[in-house]
């Protein structure tokens, strides 16, 4: 394998076919903490989520992503979060009656922690971040939060998985196969019982990406990822709600992209949905709120790009555990 081919692999892994360096998620809208730290502590319970994503299944070296997140409020006397919340105990507790009685949150803090591992071919990226947000009510039914997350990113290369024509190739010879970089993300989130909107930036501080000690090969850089998200909750009946949502992603110098999503929930215990990712995939989603303590979601992406000739699609599974979600909006469930 010639040097040029190896460099091309690095570019594809780091930059991706559309220029996105951060992993993508089909069910991000049900765990927005993955892209916006301002949702830290938005619920009045401890929200734990764990997920697994097998992207482009069937393609050798395709991305495998796992993540874990936990977030909790600090404070008391504030109501439940936004239109995406998991219901507490009771009979359809976030139906129309909840919307009619919803009041903006008391000022409070939120904290969280996220860990993510994304492996693509011989390259693995691991992010570990702590998150913080501050929430205030800015109207009778409207809240605003601002958040930040900071931590470290480890980029590692499994050199044993690479074959080169010249073992002394400076692209990898005496290279730094494991590097730790600082990471900083910021965001804002506006929310009520029926709608939400947010803006966030990941990888705010650019870093050099290179495994070589030679200046010839250290031209790679991380770039900021901008996310603009919004959605609205409609009630088709007392038992059925519909949430259309959108995400607009800006990652220069790549083309800007749009994700369109739709979720239909039945008595907030069972939901189905669909997603369209511009020039990439269409997806189907299904989920269950088994109890106020436990929820699970699954999605399948059908690849609409040219990769569909070598891929059988993408599978994503997300498990949610909601500690202290005991019912009674406005009840104290903070630390």
Handedness of CA 272, 17, 229, 85 (dihedral sign): positive
- Average pLDDT over the chain reads 81
Q: Is 16 helix (H, G, I), strand (E, B) or coil?
A: coil
Domain limits, the chain: 3-323
Please tell me the predicted confidence (pLDDT) of residue 252: 84
Q: What is the CB neighbour count within 10 angstroms for residue 73?
A: 27
Backbone angles phi, psi at 145, to 5 degrees: -130, 150
Q: What is the pLDDT of residues 211-265, one digit of tens each?
A: 766 666 666 778 899 999 999 988 888 888 899 999 999 998 888 999 999 999 8
226: helix, coil or strand?
strand
Q: Rounded to whole angstroms, how far apart are CA atoms 30 and 240? A: 18
Residue keyed to tokens 């105990």: 89
Return the higher-pLDDT residue of 96 and 57. 57
Strands (E), 34-142: 46-54, 64-74, 108-120, 123-137
Is the pLDDT at 160 greater than 90, yes or no?
no
CA–CA separation, 215 and 223 (whole Å): 19
Q: Are 224 and 207 in contact (CB under 8 A)?
A: no
Task: Quote the percentage of the chain above a pLDDT of 90.
Answer: 42
pTM greater than the 0.85 cutoff: no
Beta-bridge mates of residue 148: 132, 186
The secondary structure element, H or E, covering residue 263 is: strand 257-266
DSSP tag of 165:
S
3 contacts: CB under 8 Å, gap ≥ 6:
164, 165, 166, 169, 171
**CA 74, chain centre distance (Å):** 23
pLDDT tens-digit series, residues 272-306: 999 999 888 999 999 998 877 889 999 999 988 87
Q: Residue 162 — pLDDT band, cuts 50, 70, 90?
A: confident
Contact between residue 112 and residue 90 where contact means Cβ atoms under 8 Å apart: no
Q: Right CATH number for 3-323 from 2.60.40.10, 2.40.50.140, 2.40.160.40, 3.40.50.2300?
A: 2.40.160.40
């Amino acid at each position: 394998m010639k040097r040029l081919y190896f460099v091309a692999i690095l570019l594809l892994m780091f930059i991706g076919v559309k220029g996105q360096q951060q992993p993508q998620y089909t069910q991000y809208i049900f765990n927005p903490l993955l892209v916006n730290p301002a949702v830290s502590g938005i619920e009045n319970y401890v929200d734990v989520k764990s997920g697994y994503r097998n992207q482009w299944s069937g393609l050798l070296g395709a991305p495998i992503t796992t993540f874990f997140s936990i977030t909790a409020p600090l404070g008391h006397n504030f109501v439940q979060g936004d239109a995406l919340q998991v219901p507490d105990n009771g009979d359809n507790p976030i139906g129309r009656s909840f919307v009619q009685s919803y009041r903006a949150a008391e000022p409070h803090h939120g904290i969280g922690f996220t860990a993510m591992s994304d492996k693509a071919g011989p390259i693995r990226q691991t992010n570990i971040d702590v998150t913080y947000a501050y929430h205030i009510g800015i109207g009778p039914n409207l809240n605003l939060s601002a958040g930040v997350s900071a931590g470290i990113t480890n980029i590692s290369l499994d050199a044993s998985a690479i074959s080169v024509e010249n073992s002394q190739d400076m692209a990898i010879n005496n290279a730094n196969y494991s590097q730790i970089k600082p990471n900083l993300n910021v965001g804002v989130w506006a929310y009520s019982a029926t709608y939400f909107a947010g803006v966030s930036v990941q990888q705010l501080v650019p870093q050099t990406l290179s495994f070589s000690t030679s200046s010839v090969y250290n031209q790679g850089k991380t770039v900021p990822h901008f996310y603009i998200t919004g959605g609205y909750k409609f009630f088709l009946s007392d038992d059925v709600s519909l949430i259309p949502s959108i995400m607009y992603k800006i990652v220069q110098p790549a083309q800007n992209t749009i994700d369109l999503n739709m979720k239909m929930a039945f008595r907030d215990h069972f939901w189905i949905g669909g997603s369209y990712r511009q020039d990439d995939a269409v997806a189907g989603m299904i989920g269950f709120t088994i109890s106020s303590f436990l929820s699970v979601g699954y999605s399948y992406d059908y690849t609409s790009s040219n990769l569909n000739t070598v891929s059988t699609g993408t599978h994503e599974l997300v498990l949610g555990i909601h500690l202290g979600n005991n019912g009674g909006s406005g009840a104290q469930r903070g630390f």
